[in-house]
Amino acid sequence: MARELSVELTTDGDQLEIHGDKAALLRLVETIERLLAAAKNDHVHMFTPSWGGDQLSSEPQNDTNRVLNKVTIYYWSDTEASSGRSKV
């Protein structure tokens, strides 16, 4: 059985951990590649099932971590990034 992608915060909240098998990590790469192929600034959302999605697992891989239910990845074009603008 393939392990689903899990994004977790450590107990102290200072570290982010991404867990997944090869298939799950390749899906993350594909998501980022689709975002980079956008002609303009854009973003993608990934959710756990409890938040209405199927991109992230609700099950922590490290029992002391807290699962994040939503992950948003933003793409800023080189022009936007160099101008210091952070809104998509």
- Quick: pLDDT tens for 4-32: 899 999 999 999 999 999 999 999 999 99
At 1 the pLDDT is 38
The per-residue pLDDT for range 71-87, each reduced to its tens digit, is 999 999 776 555 555 55
As to burial, measured by CB atoms within 10 angstroms (0-12 exposed, 13-18 middle, 19+ buried), residue 5 is buried
The per-residue pLDDT for range 45-63, each reduced to its tens digit, is 999 999 999 999 999 999 9
Residue 69 scores a pLDDT above 50: yes
At 38 the pLDDT is 85
Q: Which two tokens stand for residue 30?
A: 């594909």
